[in-house]
Amino acid sequence: MRLPLQLARRYLLGKKSTNAINIISSITIFGLTIGTAALIIILSVFNGFEGLLSGLFNPFNPDLEIKPSTGKSMLISDELRDILQNNEGIDHFSICIEDLALFQYDDIQEIGILKGVDNSYSKVTSIDTTLLYGRYTLENNGIQKGLIGSTLRAKLGIQINQSLLPLTVYTPLKKPKAGREFNRQEMYPSGVVSIQSDSDHQYIIGSYGMAARLFEKPGEWSSIEIKVTNDDNVDQVQSDLAKMLPNLTIKNRYEQDESYLKLLRIEKWIAFLIVGFTLLLIAFNLVASLWMIVLEKKNDFATLVAMGFEKHQVSNTVICTGMLMSAIGLFLGFVIAISFFILQKKLGLLTMSETFIVPSYPIEMRFTDFIIVALTVLSIGFFGSLLPARRASNVTANVRLEG
């Protein structure tokens, strides 16, 4: 394989008798370079968004979350409490209940989700780190308080700590009575949280006792949120709980938002396929370039065959030429992509709108993406070389005939 590679390098980098071959070869390498760089950059930008979204969800998501497999809620049993309290991998757990509610402030009404949490909730999540203003308080001297998502606060027009007007929460009665169809509770928002997800649009977090009374579900839970003692043991704790609680659904931090992340990954690979198809079009230039090299060097191939060169060595020479073109494009594409990554990180070349949470497009490179792109580009180079290689292998030892 060494001799075909040396010949391939000479045929590719040496002077051609026809300038058009040089131009087509240069265009092919340029196209492969841009395509490679585009693939890496696109995948890296999607990686950046994935990491950004994961980081934004994390403060609201616990390490583990237990939910009923069927139905919205269920009674908490002594057995379940014992399992959670006796598990050495669990640091804290919080019993929560949530459901739809109608929120009214002054004359403005909005549908959202009321989430009732117990006193351990702040130990289980980092909810206090998401506070824009105000403080984490759920009850004060019998007065019900709570946290409200920033978008929901804007819709209702609430001014935290600047209004004596309470927020009224309505939930439907299980058994409506004459002249009364809703449970009603007044509360005062104590803080505004921003998680940059649907939580901002829907959630108000209050005390478990208030929520349980409004939903008429005393002693019931819709989720149990868990903080593990060691982040490295999340999978082990999840596995242990799944064995002991087979009828419940247990999700880790990222599985709780898997729909968002799955959608982002689907978009990422669709973009990869689109650019990949563009590279396939570039492969036609590769075929044309190699075909012209074969036509120009057919006398050389005939001479080599006459000297004892095997036909498969001739075809290998052409394949090596195509692979060499792909490798050059691949290397230059990697250089451009890495350079863009550094500039984007330091200077923020591509900026976002002012309303977005970050000033410029997030970007994150992963080694696996380089492997995938390298295999894609080299595969295109290999398969694009097969047809010209087959033509080259058909040369005869008669130089006059080939001429």
Summarised one tens digit per residue, pLDDT across range 280-303 is 887 788 888 888 877 777 777 677
Helix (H, G, I), strand (E, B) or coil at 199: helix
Rounded (5°) CA angle 242-247-252: 40
Q: Look at residue 124 and tell me whether its pLDDT is greater than 60.
A: yes
Residues 53 and 200 grouped into a single domain: no
Residues 209 and 356 grouped into a single domain: no
Residues 81 and 177 grouped into a single domain: yes
Residues 84 and 213 grouped into a single domain: yes
Residues 52 and 154 grouped into a single domain: no
| 353 vs 176, residue with greater confidence | 176
Half-sphere exposure of 315 (CA within 13 A, CB side): 14
Alpha-carbon gap, residue 205 to 186, rounded angstroms: 13
Q: Which two three-digit tokens encode residue 365?
A: 């490179």
Q: Which pLDDT score, from 0 to 100, does residue 99 have? A: 93
Helix (H, G, I), strand (E, B) or coil at 119: coil
1, with CB counted inside 10 A (0-12, 13-18, 19+), is: exposed
pLDDT (mean) for 120-127: 87
Give the Å distances, CA to CA, from 193 to 140, 185, 284.
19, 21, 54
Alpha-carbon gap, residue 244 to 19, rounded angstroms: 74
Mean per-residue pLDDT of the chain: 83
Alpha-carbon gap, residue 200 to 65, rounded angstroms: 20
Q: Look at residue 306 and tell me whether its pLDDT is greater than 80.
A: no
Sign of the alpha-carbon torsion through 60, 62, 68, 69:
positive
Alpha-carbon gap, residue 197 to 254, rounded angstroms: 14
What pLDDT, in 10s, does the model give residues 50-82? 777 666 665 668 889 999 988 888 898 889 999
Q: What is the band of 125 on the pLDDT scale with cuts at 50, 70, 90?
A: confident
Bridge partners, residue 131, by sequence: 193
Residues 85 and 144 grouped into a single domain: yes
Q: Look at residue 399 and tell me whether its pLDDT is greater than 50.
A: no
Residues 137 and 247 grouped into a single domain: yes
Q: Which pLDDT score, from 0 to 100, does residue 91 have? A: 92
| 211 vs 261, residue with greater confidence | 211
Q: Which pLDDT score, from 0 to 100, does residue 93 have? A: 93
pLDDT (mean) for 115-132: 86
Give the Å distances, CA to CA, from 91 to 124, 216, 228, 245, 388.
8, 30, 5, 18, 65
| 397 vs 329, residue with greater confidence | 329
Residues 146 and 77 grouped into a single domain: yes
* Helices of type H across 90-233: 121-124, 150-156, 198-202, 208-215
Q: Which pLDDT score, from 0 to 100, does residue 396 have? A: 63
Listed residues 196, 225, 252: the one ending a domain? 252
* DSSP tag of 70: S
Count of C-beta atoms within a 10 Å radius of residue 209? 15
Number of domains into which the chain is organized: 2
* Helices of type H across 171-246: 198-202, 208-215, 234-244
Q: Look at residue 263 and tell me whether its pLDDT is greater than 60.
A: yes
Count of C-beta atoms within a 10 Å radius of residue 113? 18
Residues 9 and 76 grouped into a single domain: no
Domain residues for the domain of 89 are 64-252
Q: Which pLDDT score, from 0 to 100, does residue 347 have? A: 85
Q: What is the band of 211 on the pLDDT scale with cuts at 50, 70, 90?
A: very high
Count of C-beta atoms within a 10 Å radius of residue 161? 11
Alpha-carbon gap, residue 12 to 276, rounded angstroms: 24
Residues 239 and 285 grouped into a single domain: no
Listed residues 203, 236, 252: the one ending a domain? 252
Listed residues 252, 283, 309: the one ending a domain? 252
Residues 191 and 71 grouped into a single domain: yes
Q: Which pLDDT score, from 0 to 100, does residue 395 have? A: 65
Q: Which pLDDT score, from 0 to 100, does residue 92 have? A: 92
Q: What is the band of 209 on the pLDDT scale with cuts at 50, 70, 90?
A: very high
Q: Which pLDDT score, from 0 to 100, does residue 400 have? A: 47
Residues 174 and 299 grouped into a single domain: no
Q: Which pLDDT score, from 0 to 100, does residue 198 have? A: 57
